[in-house]
């Protein structure tokens, strides 16, 4: 049987000699002493005795037919009760609640499949053109053009790739990070956040590089996904009062992956600035997602709506680019 909380057994005030409560199974409290704790057994008052011993308060444990109690000198009564009360308060929240297990959202693979289909279809069109348009020229990132108002380029450039190696690399890592983010945050949250982080990353980069800077590729958005997932998990774990090691683990993992994959090989083919701005913008979005606990607040319909919005942004940007 579980023992009652210590404070439930603590005496309401000093008892100076005289008979104890009738039928309680104890002899009267000796003159000059006070009862400060009572329990159903010696074990139930054991922690209290250890607390008093640690604080150097002399005490005695008395066992009766109906339980056990702790007696102290009347001079130490108030101090003993205060120490026992503080001990109870300190241990009210112990052990701490286990962090909630994040929800693993279904449908994460579908988003990755849609991503592969989209960039796969646009690869040959971007290389050769189609429907009477030069998709490459109107869709690639051009820093000066973006600054001058050609905002669609921040989105369309994410779907163009230089060569097959460039495409395959982004498909592999984009799908991998996308599935992980979708499982943790929901498919819609992950892919809408990815598109927004990529577009914002390209937009910020356009103000940090020379106006003639040109770029294409989904890597800005892919590192946006990494930043999104990193910051969202850090924020969510912080709110759940997880141990500090678990709280900083996403930050450490994100930094390591960015350092490993995002800084290039020194050949100049990698747009490190775009990777950095994508990661930072994704992290900013992720911190908001985690702070408002968006994955926990959105159901299947909302996730599908956000996923659809991500597709609409890309399609709309291309429609604007080709019809302007």
Tokens of 17: 């000699």
The answer to whether 264 touches 285, Cβ cutoff 8 Å, is no
Question: What local confidence, expressed as pLDDT, does residue 103 receive?
Answer: 54
- Over residues 150-162, the mean pLDDT reads 96
Phi and psi angles of residue 212, each rounded to the nearest 5 degrees, phi first: -85, 5
Task: Say which residues have a Cβ less than 8 Å from residue 152's Cβ, sequence separation at least 6.
Answer: 139, 317, 318, 320, 321
Tell me if 6-91 shares its fold with 108-323: no
Share of residues in the chain with pLDDT > 90 (%): 54
Tokens of 170: 């982004």
- Over residues 85-102, the mean pLDDT reads 70
Q: How far apart are CA 12 and CA 243, in angstroms?
A: 38
Give the orientation angle of helix 244-261 with respect to helix 272-291, to 10 degrees. 160
Q: How far apart are CA 299 and CA 297, in angstroms?
A: 7
Q: How far apart are CA 153 and CA 216, in angstroms?
A: 9
Q: How far apart are CA 45 and CA 248, in angstroms?
A: 40
Question: What local confidence, expressed as pLDDT, does residue 193 receive?
Answer: 96
- Environment class of 268 (CB within 10 Å of its CB; exposed 0-12, middle 13-18, buried 19+): exposed
Question: What local confidence, expressed as pLDDT, does residue 30 receive?
Answer: 87
For the chain, how far is it from start to end, CA to CA, in angstroms? 78
**Rounded to 10 degrees, what is the CA torsion of 322, 192, 171, 149?**
40
User: Which CATH number, 1.20.1540.10, 1.20.1070.10, 1.10.579.10, 3.40.50.460, labels domain 108-323?
Assistant: 1.20.1540.10
Q: How far apart are CA 246 and CA 62, in angstroms?
A: 46
| Residue 126 in this model has a pLDDT that exceeds 80 | yes
- Over residues 124-145, the mean pLDDT reads 92
Kindly tell me the sign of the dihedral angle through the C-alpha atoms of 178, 181, 183, 187.
negative
- Over residues 255-283, the mean pLDDT reads 77
- Environment class of 165 (CB within 10 Å of its CB; exposed 0-12, middle 13-18, buried 19+): exposed
Q: Which has the higher per-residue pLDDT, 318 or 132?
A: 318
In total, the chain counts a number of residues equal to 324
Cross-strand partners of 320: none
Kindly report, residue by residue over 1-41, the tens digit of the pLDDT: 343 333 333 433 333 333 344 456 788 888 889 999 998 88
Superfamily of domain 6-91: Hypothetical protein rpa1041 (3.30.70.1530)
Helix (H, G, I), strand (E, B) or coil at 214: strand
Tokens of 112: 């990755």
Concatenated DSSP letters for 16-65? -SS--STTSS-PPPPTTEEEEEEESSTGGGHHHHHHHHHTT--EEEEEET
Q: What angle do CA 104, 106, 107 make, to 5 degrees?
A: 140
Share of residues in the chain with pLDDT > 70 (%): 78
Kindly report, residue by residue over 224-264, the tens digit of the pLDDT: 999 999 998 888 766 656 566 666 666 666 667 767 665 66
- Domain spans of the chain? 6-91, 108-323
Give Dmax over CA atoms of the chain in angstroms. 106
Q: What is the pTM of this model?
A: 0.65
């Amino acid at each position: 049987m579980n023992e009652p909380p210590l404070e439930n057994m603590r005496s309401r005030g000093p008892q100076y000699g005289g008979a104890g409560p009738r039928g309680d199974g104890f002899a009267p409290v000796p003159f000059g002493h006070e009862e400060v704790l009572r329990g159903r057994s010696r074990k139930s008052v054991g922690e209290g005795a250890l607390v008093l011993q640690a604080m150097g308060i002399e005490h005695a444990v008395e066992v009766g037919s109906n339980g056990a109690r702790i007696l102290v000198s009347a001079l130490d009564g108030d101090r003993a009760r205060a120490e026992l009360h503080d001990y109870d308060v300190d241990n009210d929240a112990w052990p701490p609640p286990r962090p909630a297990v994040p929800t693993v959202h279904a449908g994460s693979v579908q988003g990755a499949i849609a991503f592969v289909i989209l960039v796969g279809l646009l690869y040959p069109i971007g290389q050769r053109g189609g429907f009477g348009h030069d998709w490459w020229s109107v869709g690639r990132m051009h820093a000066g053009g973006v600054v001058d108002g050609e905002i669609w380029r921040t989105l369309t450039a994410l779907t163009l790739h230089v060569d097959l190696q460039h495409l395959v690399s982004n498909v592999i890592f984009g799908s991998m990070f996308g599935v992980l983010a979708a499982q943790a945050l929901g498919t819609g949250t992950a892919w809408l956040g990815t598109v927004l982080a990529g577009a914002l990353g390209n937009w910020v980069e356009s103000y940090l590089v020379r106006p003639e800077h040109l770029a294409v590729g989904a890597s800005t958005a892919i590192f946006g996904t990494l930043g999104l997932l990193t910051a969202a998990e850090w924020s969510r774990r912080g709110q759940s009062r997880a141990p500090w090691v678990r709280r900083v683990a996403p930050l450490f993992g994100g930094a390591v992956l960015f350092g490993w994959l995002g800084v290039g090989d020194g050949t100049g083919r990698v747009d490190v600035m775009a990777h950095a701005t994508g990661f930072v913008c994704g992290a900013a979005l992720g911190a908001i997602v985690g702070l408002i606990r968006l994955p926990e607040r959105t159901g299947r319909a909302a996730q599908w709506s956000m996923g659809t919005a991500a597709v609409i942004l890309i399609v709309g940007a291309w429609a604007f680019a080709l019809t302007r």
